[in-house]
A and B are shown apart, each in its own frame.
Chain A
């Protein structure tokens, strides 16, 4: 039963991922990527990482992809706005990605099989356990992340702000 759920979610993730990179319309790409993120959130739930699953949905589907969709809508990009790469570049993209996959899988196949630990901690993915780890062992990185987020927010506002120079704008 669990394995079939895994298979379904994995197939969904891979299908949506492929559609993301191959859709001609950028907005369709965004929607497929959201589907892929939901499949990955399903995997997190399967792995008993409840907190991370919900945070993943909030951060990726709820914030990052909305930002992407928002930008695409503002730019009004469609199928026609992106030209094809030359055929050679496309073939080499397929070949190199395929080779990378081949090497990765060939290397990973050789790894030792997983031996379950003696004691299984069932509270790992829950808020309490994660919070304890986060605010005890990783307190300093946590503070750094807050600074990073603040600086990126300021940076984004600064960069995207229209400069008031007299240069004529086309919009």
Chain B
């Protein structure tokens, strides 16, 4: 293990962490602006030019509020819950490719932290662990509503994990690899004569739809925000939380929104590939092509974050039995049908 390798990965980790935090910070602002736009009113516009400093003000408010711990026999678990939730939200970014290779003064830098050959399973594993933060936090709150929210969250996340895994299987059958970097690289091929357009969405439209719905459910966003629905459960699993611990829960939601947008963009929308990537690499320079790829990836991610908000302020919340029906009786059979269709197509076309 050379020092240069460690330094390269260390810098990359810090940069990705910083960008994740920044985007999550400004998604909270974006959410309010989008909500204001959808409801035909002005959003936050007092702090800084156009309200741009609003997230900082929110952060300061969160930090300076009283940190209240309820009368619970499990104080450690009460603190552990949000910490775990935040950790799992951040963990997935380590296996995602953020761009192709970058050549800096003859030194080749690959824009991903870890290229493990079971990356997809790693993502699924981290997602399945994410539920513990909510469950432990909700249980340690020693509060009925928090417990109900936690139980709802866990059953919802378990149910939709199954459909999510099944929808990814069809994609894996197509790509033949579990490494996210290879899946992203494969999508740089030709589609209808355009280079860099072999996106999986054209081959897996149904799988993408299932994955999208499951991603909404896994991140606890509307219309699947039953674990924290204000009208029934006061605040769900974070009822008893205050100050920065509440901030962690709320903030981790935006981080997981960012990460799941990145996963969707990478798995189904070509990742860092864009039409004409080869032309740019040949005519302008490979480094420019890579940087443009990173920009394109982030454009896709920001579009999906906007999509999350768009859905949130458009659709009403599901009822609990509707949620379970959708998960078990519609999405899972659809995902299995998708696997069969994909398998048949692969068998017939090859």
Contacts and interface: CB of A to CB of B under 8 A. Distances in A.
Interface of A: 27, 31, 34, 50-51, 54-55, 57-58, 61-63, 66-67, 69-70, 73-74, 126-127
A73 B158 contact: no
B139 A66 contact: no
By size class, the interface of chain B is 20 to 34
A31 B118 CA distance: 26
Contacts, number: 61
B280 interface: no
A48 B129 CA distance: 22
Contacts of A63: 128, 158
Interface string B268-305: 00000000000000000000000000000000000000
B139 A70 contact: no
25 contacts: A27-B74, A50-B116, A50-B117, A50-B118, A51-B118, A54-B125, A55-B121, A57-B125, A58-B121, A61-B125, A62-B129, A62-B131, A66-B128, A66-B131, A66-B135, A66-B154, A69-B135, A70-B151, A70-B154, A70-B158, A73-B150, A74-B151, A126-B117, A127-B117, A127-B118
- Find the residue from B74, B77, B135, B136 having the highest chain A CB count within 10 A: B135
Contact of B121 (A27, A51, A73): A51
A66 B124 CA distance: 14
Q: Is the interface of B mostly helix, strand, loop or mixed?
A: helix
B178 interface: yes
A135 to B, nearest CB: 13
A61 B128 contact: yes
A10 B147 CA distance: 34
B69 to A, nearest CB: 18
B161 interface: yes
B325 interface: no
Interface string B96-117: 0000000000000000000011
B155 interface: yes
Q: Which of B116, B128, B150 lies at the interface centre, i.e. has the most chain A CB atoms within 10 A of its CB?
A: B128
Nearest to A72: B139
A76 B200 CA distance: 45
B1 to A, nearest CB: 11
Contacts of A66: 128, 131-132, 135, 154, 158
6 tightest CB-CB pairs across the interface, nearest first?
A: A62-B128, A54-B121, A57-B125, A58-B125, A54-B118, A54-B125
Interface in B146-166: 147, 150-151, 154-155, 158, 161
Contacts of A127: 117-118, 178
Contacts of B127: 62
Contact of B77 (A31, A58, A67): A31
